[in-house]
Each structure stands twice: as C-alpha cells, then as structure tokens.
Amino acid sequence: MAKLKAVLFDLDNTLTDFVNMKREATHAAACALINSGLKMDEEQCFKELFQLYWLDGIDGNTVFERFIKNKTGSIDRKMLESAILAYLEEKRRHLKLYPGVKETLSKLRTKGILIGILTDAQKIKAENRLRKLGLYGFFDLVITLDDTGEHKPSKLPFLKAIEGFRVRPDEVLMVGDSIGRDVNGAQQAGIRAALAKWGEDKEIKWPPMPGIKPDYELNRIEELLELV
C-alpha cells in the first residue's frame, strides 16, 4: 500500500458541525417568521422548514421564499427579511470546528502531509466558512462546486484534487461523513476513504449504500494521525 502524501477533507459535518449550525439557525428563522405574523406552531414551522432544506439542498438559497409563498400565497418582504437576519445571526454563533480539528491539521502539516478541502459548497460560501473558522489559506488546495460543476460522488472533483496535489490517487486519503458522496466518490477515483463517524447525525437519514464500505472508520479526527 502506497504511503499517504495528501489528505482531502469534506468541510461540512467533517471539519465543522454544519448540521447543528443549520438546525439552530433554521429554528431562529422559524421563530422570526412567527413573530413577523406567520400563523403556525413554532415547532411545526421549524420541522417543515428544516425538512425543506434537505429536500431542496442543504445550501439552497430560495428555501425561505418558497416556504413563505407556500404558506401565505405570496412573498412578504418584511417576513422574509426578518427570517434571513435571524438565520444569519444564529449561523454566525454556531459555526464551529469539531474538537481537535485545528490541532490535527497542524500536525499533518508538520509531518509534511498535503491537506485540502473538497466540498459541494459554492466557492464563495466555502471561503466564507473557512474565514469564519480561522482556516482560510490554511490548505494546499480547496476544490468547490465551482471548479467542476459536479457534485460528489462524481469522480471529477476528486480527479481535480489529485491533479492539484500532483500525487498519485493511491497516495491520497479522503475523509468525509458521507458514504454515498465522500467514500463512494473517492473510491471511484482510486482514492482511499475514511468515514468521519464524528460527523454522523442520527436524525438525518441517508439512503443505504449496499456494497460500499470505507477503507477506514474514524471516531475522532485525531485517529487520522495513526494512518500517516
């Protein structure tokens, strides 16, 4: 087995607790909608709004507009603005790294390992998150949706990362929380894959992926240091 020279990380739910942030921000938006006049039970409003995010795409930009129009028949601008402001304020408060992330990344660099990000987020959103997390400019490469136009598990983003690292596929390890996107996509591109079990959210039910197994399962990010 080739020695690892590079580690590629998913961003959301691998380096940062994205689902918890999204949950708290969406709940704040639901409260703001109700305070602005939406006639709905608070918990039901939150559940429907959060579910819509997963159906529409977790980084969707039109969720609030669609939700308000569906519930009221039109888009109330005051209601929309209050929801967006509440969402953004709560998002800033809850966007945090998982424990041990920055220390582990620093140790990988000390060992001479190349590190990169491979995310389905748009470039501007990924860069904003990295800035808020204090990680902007920390990685050797950052591959976003803008670079290939294709979401994981397409091989293209992974092949783009291999090209950027200038190493062989078997010298790269992908670390991510999704078997369907991260593990499946990496293995199709000839990259080894580690499942980041600390990023699993038991309330989010992903479709089963029979026959696809990660090369490694990690309960804590620090366990990654044992593989390099």
| pLDDT one-digit tens code per residue, 16-36 | 998 889 899 999 999 999 999
pLDDT for res 19: 86
In whole angstroms, give the CA distance from residue 39 to residue 19.
26
Phi, psi of 191 (to 5 degrees): -100, 140
In whole angstroms, give the CA distance from residue 15 to residue 198.
10
Stretches in the chain below the pLDDT threshold 70:
56-60, 201-208
Strands 172-176 and 192-196: parallel
pLDDT for res 166: 97
Helices (H), 57-183: 63-72, 77-94, 101-110, 123-132, 145-148, 155-165
pTM: predicted TM-score of the whole model, two decimal places: 0.87
Element (H, E) at 141: strand 141-143
Element (H, E) at 116: strand 114-118
Give counts: helices (H), strands (E), the chain.
Answer: 9, 6
Query: May I ask the CATH architecture of the domain 6-17+96-226?
Result: 3-Layer(aba) Sandwich (3.40)
Q: Name the nearest CA neighbour of 58 among 178, 193, 190, 187.
A: 178
Domain with CATH 1.10.150.520 in the chain: 19-94
Phi, psi of 6 (to 5 degrees): -150, 145
CATH 1.10.150.520 describes domain 19-94: yes
